[in-house]
Amino acid sequence: MIELKDVSKSFTLHNQGSAVIPVMEGASLTVAPGECIALTGASGAGKSTLMRVIYGNYLAASGQVLVGGLDVAQAEPRQILALRRETLGYVSQFLRVVPRVPTLEVVADPLLAIGCERQVALEKAAALLARLNIPEHLWGLSPTTFSGGEQQRVNIARGFAHDYPAMLLDEPTASLDVQNRETVLSLIEEAKARGAAIVGIFHDVGARDRVCDREVNVSDFTPGVLV
Ligand SMILES: Nc1ncnc2c1ncn2[C@@H]1O[C@H](COP(=O)(O)OP(=O)(O)OP(=O)(O)O)[C@@H](O)[C@H]1O
């Protein structure tokens, strides 16, 4: 479902004499449907960069980045937008809040975007918000004024609204209390059970051990490092 073949990435610092910083070389990995892999490696090793390359935020310098058969490294912007709508979900650590849009709509939005019937989308959004302990009296309000933890849980609800075949999870359990952490781990297990291929960054070792089938150490892809 997700397959990287010999991917490299460098950054060109245009404001610093166009210095070129190679950050990744020979990155290859495969994630099968129903499998969850954890990206590991020291701070600065390139975990977030690899996730952004898969999501199409960063363009790989060479190699293939296949998600559901589409090579993200070669795809047109409209193909990447369709991929993100239908196939590839991304749960980042922070909610990008749109002012004035009620929480229920924020969560239902990915389902409405793929043509799901409105009532069905709102019901699924409500079920997720309830599971993640967002009090019902907040569902009609914009999450702009919510606490950090509440925004994080709204973001997770939104990320799991559509049953994406592939998902990227950036520290999905960071700073959650025990009960909500448990709910998120269950959501990940359910996504795996329905066949989602998942790549995640988990600093929570207990969470990683529970939901991840394998670890991929991105330090192995650091340029100049012999493996
Ligand atoms: N937009 C960018 N421009 C220039 N360099 C970048 C950019 N993004 C990342 N880097 C560099 O790429 C390297 C990898 O960074 P990355 O954020 O992927 O590491 P990480 O493993 O996710 O770290 P952490 O665990 O601290 O979040 C770092 O040296 C970083 O400075």
Contact 6, 63 (CB under 8 A): yes
Q: Which of 143, 163, 39 is nearest to 94 (CA)?
A: 143
Looking at residue 15, its pLDDT comes to 85
Is the C-alpha dihedral spanning 131, 137, 140, 146 positive or negative? negative
pLDDT < 70: residue spans in the chain: 225-227
39 Cα to the center of ligand 1, angstroms = 14
| Distance from C-alpha of 50 to C-alpha of 68, rounded to nearest angstrom | 17
**pLDDT tens sequence across 117-173:** 999 999 999 999 999 999 999 999 999 999 989 999 999 999 999 999 999 999 999
CB atoms within 10 A of CB 55: 21
Looking at residue 189, its pLDDT comes to 98
Contact 22, 62 (CB under 8 A): no
Q: Whose CA is nearest to atom 7 of ligand 1?
A: 11
Contact 23, 11 (CB under 8 A): yes
Which of 8, 9, 11, 220 to mutate to test ligand 1, by most ligand atoms within 8 A of the CB atom? Answer: 11
Looking at residue 18, its pLDDT comes to 85
Index of the ligand 1 atom closest to the CA of residue 58: 1
Rounded to 10°, the helix 178-193/148-159 angle is 10
174 Cα to the center of ligand 1, angstroms = 19
Looking at residue 225, its pLDDT comes to 53
pTM to 2 decimals? Answer: 0.94
44 Cα to the center of ligand 1, angstroms = 5
The β-bridge relationship of strands 62-67 and 2-13 is antiparallel
Looking at residue 120, its pLDDT comes to 98
Q: What CATH number does the domain located at 1-87+164-227 have? A: 3.40.50.300
CB atoms within 10 A of CB 9: 24
DSSP calls for 138-183: GTTS-GGGS-HHHHHHHHHHHHTTS--SEEEEESTTTT--HHHHHH
Index of the ligand 1 atom closest to the CA of residue 51: 18
What separation in angstroms does the CA of 148 have from each of 27, 144, 145, 154? Answer: 34, 10, 9, 10
130 Cα to the center of ligand 1, angstroms = 35
Pocket of ligand 1 (CB under 6 A): 11, 21, 23, 41, 43-49
Q: Whose CA is nearest to atom 26 of ligand 1?
A: 43
201 Cα to the center of ligand 1, angstroms = 14
Please give the order of strands across the beta sheet that includes 197-201: 88-91, 166-170, 197-201, 36-40, 214-217
| Per-domain boundaries in the chain | 1-87+164-227, 98-159
48 Cα to the center of ligand 1, angstroms = 7
Looking at residue 96, its pLDDT comes to 83
Which of 12, 24, 39, 48 to mutate to test ligand 1, by most ligand atoms within 8 A of the CB atom? Answer: 48
Residue 70 DSSP one-character state: E
What separation in angstroms does the CA of 151 have from each of 131, 138, 162? Answer: 14, 11, 18
